[in-house]
Structure 1
């Protein structure tokens, strides 16, 4: 009996192997194969996969240099944020190009840009008396004195949950019920019912922030990642609106008219200062921060009265 079954089993094995080879060929043709050698994202991995990881060039000691005051006795989230949480969250987005697009230097610059936003939005640099206000990133993990519950029940898709408040939480603070709903759907967490997860779990807080960085707000619009690494080509409407690739456009996408379109303001310049400071600490240098650094004269992509990241 076993002897008669052997040819049949061998045939099944060969068929399975052939199907696997064909599937791998299709993935590589579609740009989803294994990564090529080095940091060349145009290799076998195609657009979805770039070789190397953020931890290849961004180590725990770099994280400590960027955020040296986060565990200070005056910090409001002491003991919460750490390198492991960031790297764990970042690894989920590296196959999509976060920190792994365009070569090693661009990877470093993108991490500095992303963390520049994080540092500025979670800073308590106003507490500093030594002139080192840029050292206080990741001081907070939630809004300290919410002036409202940020509940807008006019949004039927993401209605407020009774008893839940939607004040700012996380690494790139999220506000309003509908934004918690959108971000929660993106990272597969019920943030509408449990927004507190973003102030209880540092990995989730970083994951939500990176998801926002990598995801366009609307169809046919770029993400902050796209405008920073050069994946986005402005249309004629964009150029007339003074929107060009660079760090400035990341602020336009993340904050809209809360930051952009008002000329040179302190709220805009402090974000730029964090980005450039981190470039210096990561040994790229602020002189390589790129063109189109600010958004003071840009027309915003999405004018609104509310922003997820004010």
Structure 2
């Protein structure tokens, strides 16, 4: 089953299929004076061309035929003669043909079950005229438009009731002279429950009708993993269900038509996951098992350990990500690839390191394995010795502030073992993921972001949500969890539109649905060196704490904007990596992962739930945790969408007296998303930020969340030093929101040794 949606600037480069219009061209004709974005395909002088990047109106496909280099023109020739006979390529869309989309009802074709239709197609169905708002798959019948609650619930909308009566071309079997014969239909499955995948038989029992039956089987849900339907146009067909790592409920549909009457039936099949051990292998493309083999599980005073993930199994194009999740920080030899090496320096006390491997295949199936390595302590004492338990107790005693505890609960993350197992429709998905799935389905995701970069997948979205339990989580104090989730999504999606939207007013899709178009900052590539990095050692403490990686050309890797938040600078990649993997080096060494994996959407949720004191988090604004005090109110800072813009970009877009155009875009997008998601916008909610001041110390979100050296005097300690850190309101390398950062702060600021055993 193919779920297709249009990405090109004009209509589409999609082939209809055997039931479509004969001699359909591979793409729309090039229109002189139009501008095309990267990936667009057009027909020009019988040849098929593709835009490599944005093509302006004065850059025509013909330029590609005379350019000396492929980079001299945005256009490249894909296939000569591919459009032969498809049109005159003049860009004139007028035609004497009054086929689908024409105004004359007598020319409209009856809807054909199983056929896919392009946006703008008009058909007759049950005497009524329907028009496709966007691409309609073969399993999306016009009748759905009569029962959905919102116009976006179906690709079809009713254009004219009884508009097809005159010509008898109704699409429901009514020829205008006699009623069609109904088709009693039932379908069955040889098995309604299977474990570990397998083959089953779907069988139809249809009777009545006026002529030979046509059959069309389809998988309605889920989108992934996909079952293999052997014969989609037969009364009976075998279906191969893949082995899965989680329980999946499949819904299969059959549409039967005799040319007049049409009937549909559905059957549900449950595919249960098989318990797969770590050494099991599977040839299924939808099941991945990550396996780590360590050259040693314990080392003496010092040594190196090779970690090998080559025994991991799964589908094609396997990729691997390494990280360290516990123990004294160790930099691995590499963080992608199926093997890596850890060099363990001498330590004072016995310690245990934990390393994690994430394996993913081309279907987005993913799995996580981890291994623990123990090391024997032998190093001599270096300075004052403190037990780890003593440091943890000191941290807890300094972290009793109620607001700090609320913030720590908000930014809590799940382990990647749980995150990587998330798949659409999986029964064991975390609660907050299931809440989001009930609001945003895969089809809704496609509708809201039809122009998105391909790595902004629905699965990646759900995994990003899974990482943060508080996002769309359950409130147990009487607040409406579903309503808060809807509003949080509307706010976040609106900011997607401004931060990563195409902002193309001339395109068919409204601007509020053009979000997630950009995944990498314009003008930057992964091969680029330098830029967006505080990298030179000694230039700042950030360069020491979050060291920049080295590119292939010997320069520093570039930490340009990537993902839905356009995360940039090494001092943001490092903390984000720490939050996602427990290891700063994973993303500092491989920043491309912020664009290529679920991190591309997790970066936005990370920014949504994390505060920047004296600014609150956007989540605390949405869920009502943040209540402005007199300092906030003196700056006109009130709860509402406008203050989230102030949090994101207040110094640039706010406090101007009149609304900045970027803030206005955000407001417009928010109102559209709110309407779509059923979010009530109170009459007194401040949507803009033109008259807001900036957040100041003393506001209700003012909070000390960083650790720095405590300079106080402490009797009984060596040299009367405190051997402690304190909370401060300025940024340092050590955050109270990160587990273990207090101990790191003490170790970095004093001559001391940590005893990890006690």
Give distance in 2, aligned partners of 1:129 and 1:208. Answer: 28
Shift of 1:117: 1.0
Q: Which runs of 5+ in 2 are unaligned?
A: 1-404, 410-430, 551-555, 698-758
Residue 274 (1) aligns with residue 669 (2): yes
1:51–1:271 CA distance, 2 compared to 1 (3 A): closer
Shift of 1:150: 1.3
1:62–1:100 CA distance, 2 compared to 1 (3 A): farther
Q: Is the 8 A contact 2:472 2:484 kept in 1?
A: no
Q: Is the 8 A contact 2:500 2:517 kept in 1?
A: yes
Q: 2:450 aligns with which of 68, 75, 78?
A: 68
Residue 197 (1) aligns with residue 593 (2): yes
Comparing 106-115 and 256-265, the one that deviates more: 256-265
Q: 1:85 aligns with which of 460, 469, 489?
A: 460
1:11 matched residue in structure 2: none
Report which of the two structures shows the higher radius of gyration computed on alpha carbons: 2
Q: Is the 8 A contact 1:256 1:302 kept in 2?
A: no
Q: How does 1:73-152 map to 2 (within 5 A)?
A: 77=453, 79-93=454-468, 95-98=469-472, 100-101=474-475, 102-103=479-480, 104-126=482-504, 128-130=506-508, 132-146=510-524, 149-152=531-534
Q: How does 1:224-303 map to 2 (within 5 A)?
A: 224-262=618-656, 263-284=658-679, 287=681, 291-301=685-695
1:63–1:191 CA distance, 2 compared to 1 (3 A): same
Q: Residue 461 of structure 2 aligns to a residue in which SS?
A: helix
Q: Residue 274 of structure 1 aligns to a residue in which SS?
A: helix
Shift of 1:108: 0.9
Residue 160 (1) aligns with residue 160 (2): no
Give distance in 2, aligned partners of 1:96 and 1:66. Answer: 23
Shift of 1:66: 1.2
1:279–1:65 CA distance, 2 compared to 1 (3 A): farther
Alignment deviations for residues 115-137 of structure 1 (CA, whole Å, 9 cap, x no partner): 11112211112273447222211
Give distance in 2, aligned partners of 1:178 and 1:302. Answer: 23
Shift of 1:100: 4.7
Give distance in 1, aligned partners of 2:568 and 2:615. Answer: 21
TM-score of the superposed pair, with normalisation by structure 1: 0.70
Shift of 1:295: 1.6
Shift of 1:232: 0.5
Give distance in 2, aligned partners of 1:289 and 1:85. Answer: 35
Shift of 1:182: 2.3
Q: Is the 8 A contact 1:58 1:108 kept in 2?
A: no
Give distance in 1, aligned partners of 2:692 and 2:576. Answer: 26
Residue 186 (1) aligns with residue 564 (2): no
Shift of 1:224: 0.9
2:566 matched residue in structure 1: 173
Q: Is the 8 A contact 1:85 1:206 kept in 2?
A: yes
Comparing 205-214 and 95-104, the one that deviates more: 95-104
Q: Is the 8 A contact 1:261 1:300 kept in 2?
A: yes
**What is the total number of aligned residue pairs between the two structures?**
247
Q: Is the 8 A contact 1:53 1:100 kept in 2?
A: no
Q: Is the 8 A contact 1:247 1:290 kept in 2?
A: no
Q: Which runs of 5+ in 1 are unaligned?
A: 1-29, 33-48, 71-76, 304-310
1:297–1:193 CA distance, 2 compared to 1 (3 A): farther
Give distance in 1, aligned partners of 2:516 and 2:531. Answer: 23
List structure 1 runs of 4+ shifted beyond 6 angstroms.
49-52
TM-score of the superposed pair, with normalisation by structure 2: 0.30
2:379 matched residue in structure 1: none
By percentage of residues, which structure has more strand? 2
Q: Is the 8 A contact 2:456 2:516 kept in 1?
A: yes
Give distance in 1, aligned partners of 2:636 and 2:547. Answer: 36
1:211 matched residue in structure 2: 606
Give distance in 1, aligned partners of 2:675 and 2:456. Answer: 22
Q: Is the 8 A contact 1:51 1:100 kept in 2?
A: no
1:298–1:87 CA distance, 2 compared to 1 (3 A): same
